[in-house]
Structure 1
Amino acid sequence: MTQHRPAMPVREGRDALTPRPLSVRRGVNPHAPGSAHLILGRTEILATVTLEDKPAPHMRGRKEGWLTAEYAMLPRATHDRQARERNLQNGRRHEIQRLLGRALRSSMDLRPFRNQTIYVDCDVLVADGGTRVASVLAGHAALHDFCDRLVKQGKLTEWPIRHNVGAISVGLIGTELRVDLDYAEDSTARADLNVVATDTGLIIEVQGGAEDGPVTPSEYVQLLTAGTDAVQRVMADLTRQLAAIQGL
């Protein structure tokens, strides 16, 4: 019997190696010392930063503070209502939170925050693929807002963001390599990766794998290269937009 593969999703307005349009607003939450609303294609993330004057238990007595992240998806972020994620041990949520925490910690000099904990909360308002990579981008934007405010208030004398860190998804749709997959593409990809990297092309973390049979080493390298290149392009756009936004 002949097996019929699903048709390849059609991209509108961009080629295979072009990320989706990105826009960001910072300072959107009046109660948080740092916040950002980021849109990547049709995926929307609200990220907020909270500074708590209490060290994480494993950081007591250390010379630097700690940064941790939490991730959640609103019930109508998707086509069908999803139950609220009240179980903190939800496997997917826990995995994404750990990715966000590692990515954002790697961007920060936490020595100015000794005996303090930075919380970055990323909430998915609308999901259309790439929610974890969009959360890394939104988290970075919210941290930029947070640090800018502290510097302007005289609470920090040096800029604590050491690396501009972003992320992007990349996958194989049939034989075609595409970056920044939306939901339709992600659901049909035979292999996909989430690449976390700096705006200078340094790799922080790669997460993903093959869905429909193994990939060759050459294909993996091509995915990784395309991913780091796309992160640099996205971060150049994000950094430009953040610089254009007047500090509060």
Structure 2
Amino acid sequence: MRIDGRSVDGLRPLSLTPGFTKQALGSVLIATGETRVLCTASVESRTPPWLQSGGWITAEYAMLPGATSPRGNRKSGGRDKEIQRLIGRSLRAAVDLERLVGPDGGLSIVCDCDVIEADGGTRTASITGAWVALEIALRKLVAAGRLSEHPGIAPIAAVSVGVVEVEGKPEVLLDLCYQEDSRAVVDLNVVMRGNEGGAGLVEIQGTGERGDFSRPTLDRMLDFAEAGIAQLLTAQREALAAALAAEERRA
């Protein structure tokens, strides 16, 4: 039995609240268990000076001091930089950057992921939520004529999987909370892109925290991740449908 009573392959309770803030072009609050991340997408009419064509997508990640106990440090460190690079890579896999171009040239979109409350899985929640904020922003850019066509390729979502000792026996568990993650023998973060007929791997980050792990264990972890991400992709679609309905009511 898991700490919160879930099955070994069960996701934590999930909610995606689009339009959580007004100023950013796209925003969503994602809550997965006790982890909450505010994801926003903002557009800039310029691209990095080294970029020769197309547009660009990047991300910034921060954990607010009060997101953990004891209080965290507001200054970002190496872990934050590594996570925001992962988020940026994941989001760029969802978009054809060559088509992220407006009438006056390439556009840049910055996706900010601010962890309000941390209970494990903050990087994977950030990716799942940031894609929704990004998609809302892209649709608004098309509607406003700043993009002639939607540059999206496919949705992106991510989830954690781990091997944790449960009642003295190693078990593969999906979507680890902090108490599980802190005891994990193996820790895996999986990013996948939704495609017709299934999903394709974008990135896998895996570590044997307290030893090695077998190929069959890795296969089981990936099976769990793929099934969990299928549920996350469905939740993303529902959140976008809610965002569209809200826009239509305001129109």
Note whether the superposition's TM-score is higher than 0.5.
yes
**Do the aligned partners of 1:19 and 1:234 also contact (CA within 8 Å) in 2?**
no
1:58 and 1:27 map into 2 onto residues whose CA distance is: 33
Tell me which residue corresponds to 1:118: 109
Of 101-110 and 217-226, more deviation after overlay is shown by: 217-226
**Do the aligned partners of 2:27 and 2:133 also contact (CA within 8 Å) in 1?**
yes
2:172 and 2:202 map into 1 onto residues whose CA distance is: 21
Tell me which residue corresponds to 1:5: none
Tell me which residue corresponds to 2:61: 71
**Do the aligned partners of 1:198 and 1:231 also contact (CA within 8 Å) in 2?**
no
Kindly indicate whether residue 195 of structure 2 is the aligned counterpart of residue 195 of structure 1.
no
Residue type at the aligned position of 1:134: A
Tell me which residue corresponds to 1:138: 129
Structure 2 SS opposite 1:122:
strand
Task: Give the Å deviation of 1:9.
Answer: 5.1
Task: Give the Å deviation of 1:118.
Answer: 1.1
1:178 and 1:75 map into 2 onto residues whose CA distance is: 28
1:238 and 1:21 map into 2 onto residues whose CA distance is: 14
Task: Give the Å deviation of 1:247.
Answer: 4.6
Structure 1 SS opposite 2:90:
helix
Residue type at the aligned position of 1:31: Q
Q: TM-score of the superposition, structure 1-length normalised? A: 0.89
Task: Give the Å deviation of 1:145.
Answer: 1.5
Tell me which residue corresponds to 2:211: 213
Equivalences, count: 235
Of 151-160 and 122-131, more deviation after overlay is shown by: 151-160
Kindly indicate whether residue 39 of structure 2 is the aligned counterpart of residue 47 of structure 1.
yes
2:142 and 2:44 map into 1 onto residues whose CA distance is: 18
Tell me which residue corresponds to 2:241: 243
Residue type at the aligned position of 1:123: D
Q: TM-score of the superposition, structure 2-length normalised? A: 0.88
Tell me which residue corresponds to 2:74: 84
Kindly indicate whether residue 202 of structure 2 is the aligned counterpart of residue 204 of structure 1.
yes
Kindly indicate whether residue 214 of structure 2 is the aligned counterpart of residue 224 of structure 1.
no
Tell me which residue corresponds to 1:164: 155
Tell me which residue corresponds to 2:4: 11
5 Å-filtered alignment, 1:25-36, equals 25-36=17-28
- Deviations along 1:3-61, one digit per CA (max 9) or x if unpaired, are xxxxx85232x2110111111111222111111111111111111111111111220x3
Structure 2 SS opposite 1:143:
helix
1:130 and 1:205 map into 2 onto residues whose CA distance is: 15
2:246 and 2:95 map into 1 onto residues whose CA distance is: 20
Q: Which protein is richer in strand relative to its size?
A: 2
Identical-residue share of aligned pairs (%): 39
1:24 and 1:217 map into 2 onto residues whose CA distance is: 34
Pairwise CA RMSD of aligned residues?
1.6
Tell me which residue corresponds to 2:88: 101
1:48 and 1:137 map into 2 onto residues whose CA distance is: 12
